[in-house]
Amino acid sequence: MFGVAELTMKKIKEPAFLIVFVLALVAGFLLTEGTPGNDVTVESSGIMGQLLASQKGYPILNSSVAAIIFTLLMALFTGATDIPRDIESRMIMLILSKPIRKLDYLLGKYFGLLVLCMVIFVATEVTVFGNYYFSVGKCYPLGLMIKQFYLLLALFPLLAMVVMISCFVPDISAMIIGVVYVMFSASMSTIPLLISMLPKSISGGIDAYLFVIYYFFPNYLYYFQTFSTWGLVPLALLGYTVSITVIFLAIGSIRLNTRDLI
């Protein structure tokens, strides 16, 4: 598994990765909140953080939203092409000829791609924190900095979903289906909010049907909400992330084990 992951991480030298990496750093630098060029107070910043804000906790910064967008784009397009290209080039047969199970191959691909995506996000956040420090002369609050890294939790199920899809269809189809699925997930995430706004006379008849559809899609809005940095909510979010990640990878593993790779 670790050998497959190491082989996957060599994509860090490819031009496509370097382009996304540089663009993410530039976006993080330009969108850093609280600097003279972007004079916004930390307490009032954050697009999704303010939209879904509660009374406690730090918001998600606009620069962090940009960082996770570039990271998720990397996950979508790289994760969708890696396994199909191995199958088309017969590289997967060479790898599986070694003493390695298909599950180990799948997990190796997943964790290798995960490291690539995490490099982009972490480097962008370091750029944001460094830009703020050198511009203002102080650091962001520790709780605020930690809260930004909670966005990485959204990467785990999304990448697992893309890897799962890539076990079923070719690379271009996997990219298209992955993008459509993410868009539907974002749309379906608003169902609880819409139902709560409807009169009970209306919502009482349709909420059961809507929630059936809702549970087929991960709710990525959870990761952008404002909540306390420590406590029950982060633990619940971690449990939610692990559960749907395992489900996606399990489906992908079943498909890979039953698929004719010749």
CA distances from 252 to 109, 156, 160, 221 (A): 12, 14, 8, 24
Residue 71 sits in which domain range? 2-258
Among 241, 239, 190, 188, smallest CA distance to 215 is for 188
pLDDT of residue 48: 45
The amino acid sitting at 62 is N
Instruction: Report how many domains make up the chain.
Output: 1
pLDDT of residue 212: 75
Tokens encoding 194:
């819409």
Q: Render each residue's pLDDT in the chain as its tens digit; 262 residues.
A: 778 888 888 888 888 889 999 999 999 898 888 766 665 544 444 444 444 444 467 788 888 888 999 998 888 888 888 888 888 888 888 888 888 888 999 999 999 999 999 999 999 999 999 999 898 888 888 888 988 999 999 999 999 999 999 999 888 899 999 999 988 888 888 777 777 776 666 656 666 667 777 778 888 888 888 777 788 888 999 999 999 999 999 999 999 888 877 7
pLDDT of residue 185: 86
Q: What is the DSSP string of 60-93?
A: PPHHHHHHHHHHHHHHHHHHHHHHHHHHHTTHHH
Tokens encoding 33:
């909140």
> b/e for 76-94, b at 16 or more Cβ within 10 A?
bbbbbbbbbebbeeeebee
Rounded distance between C-alpha atoms, residue 92 and residue 208, angstroms: 43
pLDDT of residue 188: 82
The amino acid sitting at 4 is V
Rounded distance between C-alpha atoms, residue 8 and residue 229, angstroms: 33
CA distances from 224 to 52, 77, 147, 151, 238 (A): 7, 22, 10, 7, 14
pLDDT of residue 46: 46
Rounded distance between C-alpha atoms, residue 85 and residue 127, angstroms: 33
pLDDT of residue 26: 92
Rounded distance between C-alpha atoms, residue 83 and residue 165, angstroms: 10
Q: For the whole model, what pTM was predicted?
A: 0.85
pLDDT of residue 52: 47
> b/e for 44-68, b at 16 or more Cβ within 10 A?
ebbebbeebbeeebbbbbbbbbbbb
Tokens encoding 55:
């009374």
